Amino acid sequence: MSKDQSKEIESKRALIATTIGKMQKLRNDFTHGIKPFAKQWIQTIARQYIERNPEAVLKLGKERLSLLKNGVNKLCGDIESICTDVFSSEEFWPETRELLTKNQLGIKIVLGKLGTILEEFGLVKTKSQTEGDQESWNQYDSAGNRREFDGTPVYPHSIEIPDEIKNLLEEYRMLVQTKTTLTAEIKNLEFEKLQAQATALWDSI
Q: How far apart are CA 173 and CA 151, in angstroms?
A: 30
Q: pLDDT, tens digit, for every residue of 22-60?
A: 999 999 999 999 999 999 999 999 999 999 889 999 999
Low-confidence ranges of the chain (pLDDT < 70): 1-3, 126-151
Give counts: helices (H), strands (E), the chain. 4, 0
Contact status, residue 111 vs residue 46, Cβ threshold 8 Å: no
Query: Which pLDDT score is estimated for 31?
Result: 95
C-alpha distances in angstroms, 83 versus 80, 172, 175? 5, 18, 22
Is pTM beyond 0.85 here?
no
Angle at 43 between CA 128 and CA 66, to 5 degrees: 85
Closest of 116, 117, 114, 106 to residue 161, by C-alpha: 106
